[in-house]
Amino acid sequence: MSASLAHERKVAIDAVLRASKLCQTVFHNLVSTQAISKQDKSPVTIADFGAQAVVNSILHAAFPNDPIVGEEDSAELKKNEDVKRKVVELANSVVDRKLSDEEVITAIDLGTYAGGAKGRFWTLDPIDGTKGFLRGEQFAVCLALIEDGDVKLGVMGSPNLPVDLSNPDGERGCLFTAVKGEGAFQSTFTSPEAFTRIHVSTASTASATTFCESVEAAHASHGDAIDIARKLGITKPSTRMDSQCKYGVIARGDAGIYLRLPANKEYVENIWDHAGGSLLVHEAGGKVSDAHGKPLDFSQGRNLIRNKGVVATNGRIHDEVMAVVGEVLGAKKQ
């Protein structure tokens, strides 16, 4: 473990685990016990704000000079006293020192940094996979450290992900970490410090692997993915799940390909949706690029404006997959 990032890794793990616990509390108390309509996103709102407040307050206490690129700001929270009260209460249920209402608001708004090519900053997605969260399926708390546009550290908490995907009824709760140049690791929520090194699959042909893709069609083109799978000779059904859990599944070898092809020309990815996950796959021996084969560029602010789509593989089959991706996307332009 790099001495220079050992403290950052420890703090990030603590923050992600506490935020994950908060999200689990929200689900068990506000989602699973209520007959909420599909339009009611209040539990997600509460968990999003609470998780961001917790992570940002912990990061700021440890690294007061580090800016943060977060998904949320407090504007909505300031308009709703009831939601604010619940957020403050939840945040205080998982932190050591009680936070005042104002401290919670301030912590949330630490996430408004614009990002960029110079300096060091954190990027956070407090709940990646909001619909998966509401369904009681896959979501993740995702945190990454970026220096001069380069992802150096990623920590991802996946409360509902089975430790062994082949045993979906077994233990759940996976913690993934990666430091650039030092490999990728997984532990469990019950033993967060007992890390096991993980590696991508050893499959040398795409036909021997399976796809992992988004549940939500708004995020990725499922039709293109089906076409690509057919051309690659993949016959096994794809694994669909929300959030950066897909990166974790690729990194530990459960699947060989993660496709997130652009559903439309206007869609631009956010850096917090891919920073930690992409590092995890790279450090596990895989490869991540955009749909045109370019590396993901985290130096352009809050969005991946120089990239379109994402393709993650075990590395060995990346060129094979990219050739077919190019063929399918090229045919659509004609």
Report domain extents, the chain: 3-198, 206-333
What pLDDT is attached to residue 217? 60
Q: Residue 319 catalytic?
A: no
Query: What pLDDT does 42 receive?
Result: 75
What does the pLDDT look like over 31-81, one tens digit per residue? Answer: 655 544 444 567 888 999 999 999 999 999 999 999 999 988 899 888 889
Nearest partner of 190 among 167, 166, 165, 157, judged by Cα = 157
Give the type of residue at 103: E
Annotated catalytic residue within 45, 48, 177, 227? 48
CATH 3.40.190.80, applies to 206-333: yes
Q: What is the mean pLDDT of residues 229-246?
A: 91
Q: Could you report the per-residue pLDDT of 296-308, keeping only the tens digit for each?
A: 999 999 999 999 9
- Residues 94-121 have a mean pLDDT of 96
* Whether residue 224 has pLDDT greater than 50: yes
The CATH number of the domain covering residues in 3-198: 3.30.540.10
Q: In which residue are the tokens 């685990």 written?
A: 17
CA 233/CA 316 separation, integer angstroms: 16
* CA atoms of 241 and 191, how far apart (whole Å): 24
Contact 156, 143 (CB under 8 A): yes
48 given a catalytic annotation: yes
- Catalytic residue, chosen from 123, 130, 209, 210, is 130
